[in-house]
A and B are shown apart, each in its own frame.
Chain A
């Protein structure tokens, strides 16, 4: 149903519409023409009928009028009026003689008795009462002539109509009437004459009816005075209203006729002319038949044409549509369809051609699809593996399947020996593949030519091609006659070509070459992929290794987790920090590790944010913890950062355990330095300010001796301040490596005495000096040596107390002078011995606060001793403390010694740091 509605989609429907468009106007025109002609013919027939009827009616009218005039004339005769037989006989016979149609003239008396009639004849009706006659009754009511109805005259025994003239006396007495019987036969004769003028086949019928519809005149006398219904349809008679008209009606005999009538006005008679319609409308009927035949013919032709069109054109096309669709979609064609295609393709017309071309198309589509499928498989093969050999073999396999070739190979430059060798092949002998080696310098080689021009090159017959002459032998041995070389488009891989061999002379078609080029491109891709992958893989591996080594050797701990905090990577340092085997780390949750590390924190972990919050905050967050690892204090700064991919989407978290122990230490040293220096400076300043303010105080008057004592103290403290400042300067010079010693020969004892003088020994202190003879003099920076000794002595006083015995011993040993400063105080605890010289280290930091000057003093000593190229150390003692130092006898490279020391220090501190958290 839908197909019928889909007018535009249906060729048959369109053609049908076109057909109708052509035929319908034609038939309509024909029908209209037929109608017009019919009307015209009918009008003509009616007109001729009417003319005939009118002419007859006039004629009858004339005859009747003549009879009426005659009777009217007779009524004027005296003899007639008086009913004088003799006179009437004379006149009546005269009338009879002149009017052949009148066969009887008579006179009725006032009571209707026949008075006289002429001719008298044997059957006389004189004396018979005719008062019952219709005309007598009519005559009683008028003085005008009238015509009677048709009847059989008893006198003449003939059908007549009577012209009657009533007779009235002058005083109005009815005197009777005069009648003249008109022979109706005579009227009929007139009609016969009229009819005879027309051709018999017209079937013309003429009849005259009286007012009572009796047949007055008719060619066949038998019908006279019969009711008109006998020959004229009753329906037509009933319609009469005195007008002329025309109508087709069926005659009582069954024939259809065209009736036309004309009335005879005065006497209410009518003339009816009729013809059979068959005759009347013959032309029109013929014309109609022609129209019908034409329409029928057209329809038949149309149907035939339609049928032919459907069978021969539309149906094949409709059937081809799904088939061609199926072909286009590469779907199977059903066997009936295939048979149909086969039979129809034998047609020699366009449809046949169309089917042939569809079949051709199907074949070529299938061929293409097969090619594409193979190429697709090849593509799949290319990406399926990164192993060049595998991929090449797969490509070659596909190639063989598609092209139905038996011998082919991939040849590539072997970079190790600089010649082209076969990398993969099919259908070639082992000997050939192993032995074939083409030098890049061979310009005639098909491979080289193809690689050179970057286009496929073929030798269609190895026997005849001159360029192949020298290799003919090889071709014969291997059994090929044609070669095609297709270069591969390689950029990163060495130059490569695809070789195809044909056992017989063969010209490779453009299609074959195109296909092979496709394969060559795929192969090139595979090779390139593999080469690039190999390179990038190697590079990636190198980078990864480098990165891993870097991360592993980091002194900082690093954890990388996924978004849920599960550890993906943790470096060695994390293992150390968490005291876990690094292998067990991955898969654990970062919170566990964090918790393990924070557990070791020396300050309460409650002070920190709980570790899982650290991860959950998402953004960057930091915290610092101090923990003890293997008896070493380690300061860690935890940094949590989110790890994003290239688009900036978070893919995980990183937690960095930055070891800030060194920074921490440095900070501590720095603040310690500041407070130490501040303390050291404030101590003499306090004495100075104290005594100055004491002297300035208004409320106390000090005696002279006291004032002098105070001023001495102020002076001493000022000296101390100066020397302190000098020491600090020296210290900073030592730090900067720019301390310059001014070496001179010094007397050992003098130096010691000077130092002791400044060292604020209390009077209770016992100070002893013992100098070995060989150490009486030495080469040194005198002021600085004094500084060293003063610091050490001061230290002894401070720690051993004001009543202690302090000894300075000097001896010479192996190229150096050894100084020892001893006291009998509490001594230096064993565990502190190593640290006393570290800058600003103070014994038992914690409970006992740094003793005045202690830290700085020993540090300065160490700096100055090493500046001289000597050593300083704590010497074990049974009682009290002993600090010893050496000064080389010949100190030449003082500054370099300082440098060396500094670098040693750095190494040591570096080692120390590395050791500490381990």
Chain B
């Protein structure tokens, strides 16, 4: 296992705690005390996972996340001391894949890291191959390519997995929990927030008018359905 992890936190004890735990479990860890340092490291070293605090001097975690997301699909886990809904949503909006609320234990940390890495592995979750075409949405599962109305659309692995899962079950209403368990993993079955944010992002990328979706329909209180 040769995974490089970038840990960004202005609090040295916490940074050290993450580093020590990951190193002892075979990850390669780079540390940064703020966003600017993190970006510098990200640009110079291969990184497979970023763990980032939000509140930091000079450049905070959200800004750093946004900038990393501009260049890469690398999975990002956000650390927050707030635990507030708005922060989560903002983090997801900026492209974070997961988050952890302080304080958290080693078990939680490792679990999230594993789940995020699993989702980031394209072939790991999407079984089978070939193409799925539903309406104007074309998905090439082998190549991880998505075309909508003839144009290529960039999706993160999680977004891609979510879309493929919905398209494979087109016409069926899928329950929140089923989608979460299938796309994110069993431990995420209650994180409806994730699903909502990702559905929003998928609509932004696929629907011509996200306010009046044609493909991705919401069944209030139940789940979602792909129509094509």
Residues of A within 8 A of B (CB): 675, 678-679, 682-683, 685-694, 696-697, 699-700, 706, 713, 716-717, 760, 762, 798-799, 801-802, 826, 847-852
Given contacts A686-B104, A690-B17, A852-B11, 14 further A-B contacts (CB under 8 A): A678-B81, A679-B81, A683-B11, A687-B11, A690-B105, A693-B105, A699-B25, A713-B17, A716-B13, A798-B10, A801-B33, A849-B54, A851-B55, A852-B81
Contact, CB under 8 Å: A690 / B62? no
Instruction: Give the distance in Å from the alpha carbon of A472 to the alpha carbon of B63 in the complex.
Output: 111
**Cross-interface CB contact of B14 among A690, A700, A798, A848, cutoff 8 Å:** A690
Contact, CB under 8 Å: A689 / B12? no
Contact, CB under 8 Å: B13 / A687? yes
Least CB distance, A358 to chain B, in whole angstroms: 97
Least CB distance, A762 to chain B, in whole angstroms: 7
**Cross-interface CB contact of B107 among A687, A688, A693, A717, cutoff 8 Å:** A693
Q: List 22 A-B contacts (CB under 8 A).
A: A682-B81, A683-B14, A683-B102, A685-B103, A686-B103, A687-B11, A687-B14, A689-B105, A690-B13, A690-B17, A693-B105, A697-B21, A697-B106, A700-B21, A700-B24, A713-B16, A799-B57, A826-B58, A847-B63, A849-B54, A849-B60, A850-B55
**Cross-interface CB contact of A678 among B14, B24, B82, cutoff 8 Å:** B82
Chain B: number of interface residues, binned into ranges = 20 to 34
Least CB distance, A845 to chain B, in whole angstroms: 11
- Assuming A686-B102, A689-B103, A689-B104, is B11 touching A802 (CB within 8 A)? no
Q: Contact mask B49-91 → A, CB, 8 Å, 1/0?
A: 0000011111111110000000000000001011110000000
Contact, CB under 8 Å: B10 / A675? no
CB of B172 closer than 8 Å to a CB of A: no
Instruction: Give the distance in Å from the alpha carbon of A850 to the alpha carbon of B62 in the complex.
Output: 12
- Assuming A687-B14, A689-B103, A847-B63, is B20 touching A679 (CB within 8 A)? no
**Cross-interface CB contact of B55 among A688, A706, A849, cutoff 8 Å:** A849
Contact, CB under 8 Å: B17 / A694? yes
How many A-B contacts are there with CB distance less than 8 Å? 101
In the complex, the chain B residue whose C-beta lies closest to that of A826 is B58
- B206 cross-chain contacts in A, Cβ below 8 A: none
Contact, CB under 8 Å: A694 / B106? yes
Interface centre among B11, B25, B63 (most CB of A within 10 A): B11
Least CB distance, B1 to chain A, in whole angstroms: 14
**Cross-interface CB contact of A852 among B10, B63, B107, cutoff 8 Å:** B10
- B81 cross-chain contacts in A, Cβ below 8 A: 678-679, 682-683, 686, 852
In the complex, the chain A residue whose C-beta lies closest to that of B103 is A689
Instruction: Give the distance in Å from the alpha carbon of A692 to the alpha carbon of B103 in the complex.
Output: 11
Least CB distance, A829 to chain B, in whole angstroms: 13
CB of B18 closer than 8 Å to a CB of A: yes
- A691 cross-chain contacts in B, Cβ below 8 A: 13, 17
- Assuming A700-B25, A798-B57, is B106 touching A713 (CB within 8 A)? no
Residues of B within 8 A of A (CB): 10-14, 16-18, 20-21, 24-25, 33, 54-63, 79, 81-84, 102-107
- A798 cross-chain contacts in B, Cβ below 8 A: 10, 57
In the complex, the chain A residue whose C-beta lies closest to that of B21 is A694
- B56 cross-chain contacts in A, Cβ below 8 A: 849, 851-852
- B58 cross-chain contacts in A, Cβ below 8 A: 826, 848
Least CB distance, A700 to chain B, in whole angstroms: 5
- B83 cross-chain contacts in A, Cβ below 8 A: 678
In the complex, the chain A residue whose C-beta lies closest to that of B106 is A693
- B104 cross-chain contacts in A, Cβ below 8 A: 686, 689-690, 693
Least CB distance, B37 to chain A, in whole angstroms: 10
- Assuming A682-B102, A694-B106, A849-B60, is B54 touching A760 (CB within 8 A)? no
Interface centre among B14, B21, B63 (most CB of A within 10 A): B14
- Minimum-distance CB pairs A-B, first 3: A693-B105, A689-B103, A686-B102
- B12 cross-chain contacts in A, Cβ below 8 A: 760, 762, 802
- A683 cross-chain contacts in B, Cβ below 8 A: 11, 14, 81, 102
Contact, CB under 8 Å: A688 / B54? no
- Assuming A697-B107, A700-B24, A851-B10, is B55 touching A690 (CB within 8 A)? no
Least CB distance, B164 to chain A, in whole angstroms: 34
Instruction: Give the distance in Å from the alpha carbon of A685 to the alpha carbon of B102 in the complex.
Output: 8
- A692 cross-chain contacts in B, Cβ below 8 A: 105
Contact, CB under 8 Å: A686 / B107? no
Contact, CB under 8 Å: B55 / A679? yes
Instruction: Give the distance in Å from the alpha carbon of A678 to the alpha carbon of B55 in the complex.
Output: 13
- A689 cross-chain contacts in B, Cβ below 8 A: 102-105
Instruction: Give the distance in Å from the alpha carbon of A851 to the alpha carbon of B35 in the complex.
Output: 12
Instruction: Give the distance in Å from the alpha carbon of A689 to the alpha carbon of B84 in the complex.
Output: 20
- Assuming A683-B11, A687-B11, A700-B24, is B17 touching A848 (CB within 8 A)? no
Instruction: Give the distance in Å from the alpha carbon of A700 to the alpha carbon of B109 in the complex.
Output: 15
Instruction: Give the distance in Å from the alpha carbon of A675 to the alpha carbon of B61 in the complex.
Output: 17
Instruction: Give the distance in Å from the alpha carbon of A700 to the alpha carbon of B20 in the complex.
Output: 11
- A686 cross-chain contacts in B, Cβ below 8 A: 11, 14, 79, 81, 102-104
- Assuming A683-B102, A690-B18, is B59 touching A848 (CB within 8 A)? yes
Interface centre among A678, A696, A799, A848 (most CB of B within 10 A): A848
Instruction: Give the distance in Å from the alpha carbon of A850 to the alpha carbon of B21 in the complex.
Output: 28
- A679 cross-chain contacts in B, Cβ below 8 A: 55, 81-82
Instruction: Give the distance in Å from the alpha carbon of A692 to the alpha carbon of B106 in the complex.
Output: 9
- A699 cross-chain contacts in B, Cβ below 8 A: 25
**Cross-interface CB contact of A690 among B10, B33, B103, cutoff 8 Å:** B103
- B55 cross-chain contacts in A, Cβ below 8 A: 679, 849-852
- A675 cross-chain contacts in B, Cβ below 8 A: 82, 84
Least CB distance, B199 to chain A, in whole angstroms: 24
Instruction: Give the distance in Å from the alpha carbon of A725 to the alpha carbon of B148 in the complex.
Output: 55
Instruction: Give the distance in Å from the alpha carbon of A717 to the alpha carbon of B17 in the complex.
Output: 13
Instruction: Give the distance in Å from the alpha carbon of A706 to the alpha carbon of B105 in the complex.
Output: 17
Least CB distance, B153 to chain A, in whole angstroms: 29
Contact, CB under 8 Å: A802 / B33? yes
- A706 cross-chain contacts in B, Cβ below 8 A: 20
Contact, CB under 8 Å: B57 / A688? no
Instruction: Give the distance in Å from the alpha carbon of A851 to the alpha carbon of B12 in the complex.
Output: 14
- B61 cross-chain contacts in A, Cβ below 8 A: 849
Instruction: Give the distance in Å from the alpha carbon of A72 to the alpha carbon of B116 in the complex.
Output: 193
- A826 cross-chain contacts in B, Cβ below 8 A: 58
Instruction: Give the distance in Å from the alpha carbon of A847 to the alpha carbon of B62 in the complex.
Output: 9
**Cross-interface CB contact of A694 among B10, B20, B84, B103, cutoff 8 Å:** B20
